[in-house]
Amino acid sequence: MILVIDVGNTNITFGVYEKKRLTTTFRMMSRMQRTSDEYGITIRELLKVNQVEWERLEGTIIASVVPNVMHSLTGAVRRYLKTEPLIVGTGIKTGIRITSENPKEIGPDRIVDVVAAYEKYGGPVLVLDFGTATTYDLVTADGRFGVGITAPGIRISAKALWEDTAKLPEIEIKKPDSILARETVSSMQAGLVYGQIGQTEYIINQVKKETGFADLKVVATGGMGRIIADATEAIDIYDSSLTLDGLRILYEKNRKGMDRG
């Protein structure tokens, strides 16, 4: 078994794989400062609750967009799980060619997503990740990744509404029955969700237009991705485990010398 760890701006998502099968997932907040002991004890307890014996873990891989958690988190993995974590970053084998002008600026989360999408669905593929930011990343049929679009995530937009506007309340983000809202909450929901749908469809269509990729697959993931994917035909596939699968794939490509012992 291996443990994959995706450190996002809001949550840290953990997944346990038995070969290629994702057996369990769990989360903790990434914005809370913790020591390596706190991480280690919490991870062990969460593994236990999910009926996973930590001693059976052969290795660990981490992708992080939050640098200040890495020292404590990697220390916890070494001390409490007795494995040397593989970190997604410069030098890791990916199976794709990064052709952007500044490859080192590309976030590990985006690399993980495009690796997973290309391995699972082939190319050309446009990968949408609806997280804290909404990202759109393109991989060509021959495995080149150099084009990406970044937009504010739907939660960022929602937070701006209720924090920067005195009379607007904090709301649940969901798609209302109609865009023709008649009160404040559904008005905000309509603007947020239908606005995101419109942005998504426009960007997808523009990418298809400028690339000429008539056979472009569009794959979505991320916490808010299901809401958007269910509301538009522009997205072909919603894959909730895309990022975790990408971490597993990267571990397998780089596993030599990483297993316990």
Phi, psi of 22 (to 5 degrees): -80, 115
- Catalytic site residue 109? yes
In DSSP terms, which residues pair with 237 in a beta bridge? 219
Handedness of CA 158, 163, 164, 167 (dihedral sign): positive
Q: Which of 6, 109, 137, 245 is catalytic?
A: 109
Helix axes 184-211, 154-164, angle to 10 degrees: 140
State the catalytic residues.
109
